[in-house]
Amino acid sequence: MELSTTRHGDMIIVNVIGTRIDAAAAIAFKDAMREAVADGPAHVVLDLGNVTFVDSSGLGAIVAAMKALGDGRRLDLAALTPDVAKVFRLTRMDTVFVIHDALDGLTTRATG
Amino acid sequence: MTDDMTFKCSATAVDVRRMLGELRARLAAENLSDDNCSNIEIALAETLNNIVEHAYRPGGDGTITLTLMVGQRRLTCEVRDNGVAMPGLAPPAGTAPDITSQRATLPEGGFGWSLIRALTARLHYLRDGEENRLILDFDLGTP
């Protein structure tokens, strides 16, 4: 599963290129996340702006990615689309993660 | 107005994804709201992936058939497969996992049935010979 990363000081933003983190993508997502954040900054923000659908397997993979960061590092989420926000709300996982409405307040966009 | 629709997929996560895409497009074409469409897609994604993982078991092959009956205020969906029967011949209670624990012990699964229960008005399961039949009713709200 394709992810792109952008570093902003002690924060790394991980953007999901695909539109679904579902049962067919959950393992690939976990593997790609592990690689994307290895030895990186303590603060990771997962940009879900392109993702239109997450099922319970995808939700589990996001939780696993957060746990894999270990002590001293954190995973926030950003830019949840309506169906994805619904899954987080119904499972109350919206109480576990810090969720940012958009990336705009988090960082000044890099130019170029 | 009532319309019946049938969809089929093989018991793989990739084919479930394909069928959900067709289903979503068809629901939107029936003028269901985005909120109703997502309720149905989420509940059916969980139902179908449970069948792939538990009824047919990984590596097995099988077919899943979905029939939708769309009414004005209610959508009924029947999901049929030929996998193993549900344990206890009943759908799970769907108790939501405890998420108040420390980060290291947060659950990574167990959300499927609580989502299905939260999004449906009624569930009915029967084992009919070698076939599982799960009927999910969705309230569509005021038309």
CATH number of B3-139: 3.30.565.10
In chain A, residues 19-48 whose CB comes closer than 8 Å to chain B: 20, 22-24
For B57-101, how does the pLDDT look when each residue is reduced to its tens digit (9 = 90+)? Answer: 776 679 999 999 999 899 999 999 999 999 999 999 989 888 888
Find the length of chain B: 143
Q: What kind and span of H or E run contains A89? A: helix A82-90
Pick from B99, B103, B113 the residue to mutate for testing the A interface (most A CBs within 10 Å). Answer: B103
Query: Residue B2 — pLDDT band, cuts 50, 70, 90?
Result: low
Which of these, A92, A107, A97, A94, lies nearest to A76 by C-alpha position?
A97
- Which of 3.30.300.30, 3.40.630.40, 3.90.230.10, 3.30.750.24 would CATH assign to domain A3-100? 3.30.750.24
pLDDT above 70 for A22: yes
What ipTM score was computed for the predicted complex, to two decimals?
0.93
pLDDT value of position A44: 97
Nearest CA in chain B to A68: B104
Global pTM?
0.93
Token couple for B25 = 């497009």
CB of B109 within 8 Å of a chain A CB? The answer is: yes
Q: Starting from the edge strand earliest in sequence, which strands make up the sheet with A99-100, in order? A: A3-8, A11-16, A43-47, A74-78, A99-100
Q: What kind and span of H or E run contains A100? A: strand A99-100
Determine whether the interchain pair B41/A83 forms a contact, defined as Cβ–Cβ distance below 8 Å: yes
pLDDT value of position B143: 59
Nearest CA in chain A to B20: A53
For chain B, the structural domain boundaries read: 3-139
| Separation of alpha carbons B67 and B60, rounded Å | 23
In chain B, residues 65-104 whose CB comes closer than 8 Å to chain A: 96, 99, 103-104
- By Cβ distance, the residue of A57, A83, A87 closest to B49 is A57
| Separation of alpha carbons A1 and A4, rounded Å | 10
- By Cβ distance, the residue of B14, B112, B118 closest to A24 is B14
CB of B107 within 8 Å of a chain A CB? The answer is: yes
Q: What is the DSSP letter of B129?
A: T
Distances (CA, A) of A4 to A52, A84, A107: 17, 20, 16
pLDDT above 50 for A109: no
